């Protein structure tokens, strides 16, 4: 059974409200593990690698390289139920550090 979770762009710095998508390290159909680097983003302060908070199959990259995205906007969908193409059932909070 599909269980697609969304990962929202987290606040990676103190009070930053947006980031530019520099490079994706995964694409739809790829299998990802928890804490695997999925993308690089650039904020006003630095380029940062973002880890995936889920294990599963990437169903959709929701933003493109070069896009500037607000914190809290969904950036990737991952099917944690093992089947691609399911309905979105939950929105995830960014992993705590």
Instruction: From the options 2.40.160.40, 2.40.50.100, 3.40.640.10, 3.30.1700.10, give the CATH code of 4-92.
Output: 2.40.50.100
Rounded CA separation 80/39 (Å)? 19
Instruction: Convert the pLDDT of each residue in 50-97 to its tens digit.
Output: 999 999 999 999 999 999 999 999 999 999 985 544 444 444 444 443
Instruction: Convert the pLDDT of each residue in 12-28 to its tens digit.
Output: 877 889 999 999 999 99
Across the chain, which distance is largest between two alpha carbons, in Å?
41
pTM above 0.85, yes or no: no
Query: What are the sequence ranges of the domains in the chain?
Result: 4-92
Mean pLDDT value of segment 21-37: 97
Rounded CA separation 67/81 (Å)? 29
Within 1-92, strands assigned E span 4-8, 18-24, 31-32, 37-42, 47-51, 56-61, 68-70, 74-79, 88-92
pLDDT-based confidence at 41, cuts 50/70/90? very high
- Chain centre to alpha carbon of residue 72: 11
Instruction: Convert the pLDDT of each residue in 47-59 to its tens digit.
Output: 999 999 999 999 9
């Amino acid at each position: 059974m599909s269980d697609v979770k969304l990962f929202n762009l987290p606040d990676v710095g103190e009070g930053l409200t947006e980031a530019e998508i520099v490079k994706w390290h995964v694409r739809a159909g790829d299998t990802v593990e928890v804490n695997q680097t999925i993308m690089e983003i650039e904020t006003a302060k630095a380029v940062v690698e973002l880890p995936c908070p889920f294990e599963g199959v990437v169903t959709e990259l929701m933003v493109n390289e070069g896009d500037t995205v607000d914190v809290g906007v969904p950036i990737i969908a991952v099917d944690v139920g093992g089947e691609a193409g399911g309905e979105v059932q939950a929105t995830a909070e960014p992993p705590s550090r």
